[in-house]
Amino acid sequence: MCITRSRSYSRFVQRSTNTLVNHLILNHVSPATRRAYNSALNQFIKFCRCKKVAFCPASVSTVLAFIAFQFAKKRALSTVRVYLAAISDLHCVNNLPNPVDNPSCTYAFKGYARLHQQIVDSRLPITPNILVLIKNQLVVSSLCEFDKIIYWCAFVMIFCGFLRIGELLALNFEDICVAKDSSLVSFRLSHSKTDQLRRGHWVHCVRASGCICPVRAVQKCLRVRFASGAHCGRLFVDSAHRIISRSMFLSVLKYCLRNHPNVSRFNTHSFRIGAATTAARRNVPAYRIKEAGRWKSDCYQRYIRDVHVNPALF
């Protein structure tokens, strides 16, 4: 009886350990990356089924044919990079030979990058001049005073903090800290695209003269939020007590820029582009720009627009 119980316990421990190991392995990437990989694998599986070949383990010739197929469809280079990363991840997780590491696949992808026609990023930056325009349009809009204060605070914070829209809208009351002398406002990003381990990151914005002041904008925002009886939860909530979403944020932005000749070329990421462009125009060192935008590579250079070419656009 003791031997039977011992064997049962051993099998239970083994199953529990295997389950935990699988759980750890599957969480070596963030949930967002996992979703992207799953979507990419669906495309690869569909391709393999049409060709009537195995997708796992996949042969080198299958991956090469898949790369060629994507090139014929003029798929974006960044998309193909995710596809190959997903295929590589699938084989590594299952402890199988990785066909993506084969030199032929590496050279094929390099050829793809060399021959692929790069898509020009037509998004325009939201610079301080554009922000002043947004402020003026927001003041005369039909929004109530509560919403005007909330949205203006969101516009200023996303610009001054080099934020992504997801980082901005995820801010809670406890993430905000204003210095006692009102010289500085700090807010903690609980998660970020470049913070895969969710350690958090503090962003600091100093008081500024003029209407584009993050400290005054946050103080007004907190004042009206406290007056409405809110002391916890999401920071950006409209007068109807709805948490502001990306589509709501973009809708108000487009409304404020409706008279601009290039309104279609502005979106939520235009604030981050504008912050980098403005910093570069003011001769801020490159390492400072990377630090402010939490960039870990030189990809920040793609965000800097040459505003001297046609200043009328800005």
Complete domains list, the chain, with CATH: 17-115 (1.10.150.130), 128-313 (1.10.443.10)
Output 17 or 4, whichever has higher pLDDT.
17
pLDDT of residue 24: 81
- Answer whether 205's CB lies under 8 Å from 160's CB: yes
For residue 11, the model assigns a pLDDT of: 59
Give the pLDDT band of residue 5 (cuts 50, 70, 90).
Answer: low
81-102 pLDDT, tens per residue?
999 999 999 998 888 999 999 9
pLDDT at 111: 92
Taking only the tens place, the pLDDT of each residue in 186-203 is 999 887 776 666 677 899
What is the per-residue pLDDT for 313?
37
**Quick one: average pLDDT of 152-157?**
96
Contact 192, 164 (CB under 8 A): yes
Residue 10 pLDDT class (50, 70, 90 cuts): low
